[in-house]
Amino acid sequence: MEESAIWWVRRDLRLADNPALQEALASGLPVRAVFLWAPEEEGEAAPGAAARWWLHHSLAALARELRRRGGELECFDLSAKGVGCAEALRAIAEESRAGVVTACRRVEPSSVAIEERVQEALRKEGVRVVWTVGGGLIPHDGVRQASGGVFQRFTPFWRSALSKGWVQEAVEARWLRSAPFSIPAPLPLKTVRVKRGDREVAIGPVSLEELGLLPKGRWAEGWLDRWQPGEEGGVRRWHRFLTEGVRRYHQDRDRLDREGTSRLSPHLHFGEVAAARLVADLVEAGLWGEEKRDEGGRAFVRALGWREFAYGLLRHVPRMVSEPLREEFRNFPWLEGRADWIRAWQRGETGIPLVDAAMRGLWQTGWMPNRARMVVASFLTKNLGVDWRVGAAWFWETLVDADLANNAFGWQWAAGCGGDGAPYFRVFNPVLQGRTFDPEGAFVRAFVPELRALPREVIHDPERIGPLVRREVGYREPVVEVATSRAAALARWKRFREQIRGTK
Asked whether residue 148 falls in the same domain as residue 129, the answer is: no
Pairing of strands 192-196, 73-77: unpaired
User: Which residue, 17, 50, 329, is CA-closest to 173?
Assistant: 17
Distances (CA, A) of 38 to 83, 214, 311: 8, 16, 22
Which of 78, 109, 133 is at the close of a domain?
133
**Euclidean distance between CA atoms 290 and 476, whole angstroms:** 53
pLDDT of residue 502: 67
Mapped onto helix, strand or coil, the DSSP state of residue 183 is: coil
In a domain? residue 494: yes
pLDDT of residue 291: 60
**Euclidean distance between CA atoms 398 and 395, whole angstroms:** 5
Tell me how many domains the chain contains: 3
Asked whether residue 144 falls in the same domain as residue 118, the answer is: no
In a domain? residue 189: no
pLDDT of residue 432: 98
pLDDT of residue 393: 98
User: Which residue, 486, 421, 461, is CA-closest to 153?
Assistant: 421
**Euclidean distance between CA atoms 64 and 86, whole angstroms:** 27
Asked whether residue 392 falls in the same domain as residue 292, the answer is: no
**Euclidean distance between CA atoms 41 and 85, whole angstroms:** 8
**What string of pLDDT tens digits covers the 504 residues of the chain?**
679 999 999 999 999 999 999 999 999 999 999 999 999 999 999 999 999 999 999 999 999 999 999 999 999 999 988 899 999 999 999 999 999 999 999 999 999 999 999 999 999 999 999 999 888 999 988 889 988 899 989 999 999 999 999 999 999 998 888 777 899 999 999 899 998 777 889 999 999 999 999 999 999 999 999 999 999 999 999 999 999 999 999 999 999 999 999 999 999 999 999 999 999 999 999 999 766 568 999 999 999 999 999 999 999 999 999 999 998 899 999 997 689 999 999 999 999 999 999 999 999 999 999 999 999 999 999 999 999 999 999 999 999 999 999 999 999 999 999 876 667 788 999 999 999 999 999 999 999 999 999 999 999 999 999 887 888 889 999 999 999 999 999 999 999 988 877 665
Rounded to two decimals, what is the model's pTM?
0.96
Asked whether residue 294 falls in the same domain as residue 311, the answer is: yes
Asked whether residue 475 falls in the same domain as residue 349, the answer is: yes
pLDDT of residue 199: 83
**Euclidean distance between CA atoms 295 and 306, whole angstroms:** 17
Residue range 280-338, pLDDT digits in tens: 999 999 999 766 568 999 999 999 999 999 999 999 999 999 999 998 899 999 997 68
Residue range 226-265, pLDDT digits in tens: 999 999 999 999 999 999 999 999 999 999 999 999 999 9
Dmax (CA) for the chain in angstroms is 81
**Euclidean distance between CA atoms 218 and 216, whole angstroms:** 7
pLDDT of residue 294: 83
The length of the chain in residues reads: 504
**Euclidean distance between CA atoms 410 and 378, whole angstroms:** 11
HEC string of 54-107? HHHHHHHHHHHHHHHCCCCEEEEECCCCCCCHHHHHHHHHHHHCEEEEEEECCC
**What residues make up the domain containing 433?**
327-503
Asked whether residue 395 falls in the same domain as residue 462, the answer is: yes
Mapped onto helix, strand or coil, the DSSP state of residue 128 is: strand
> Is residue 257 classed exposed, middle or buried when 0-12, 13-18 and 19+ CB atoms within 10 A define those classes?
middle
CATH number for the domain spanning 36: value is 3.40.50.620
Pairing of strands 31-37, 192-196: unpaired
Asked whether residue 153 falls in the same domain as residue 57, the answer is: no
Asked whether residue 378 falls in the same domain as residue 299, the answer is: no
pLDDT of residue 205: 95
CATH number for the domain spanning 478: value is 1.10.579.10
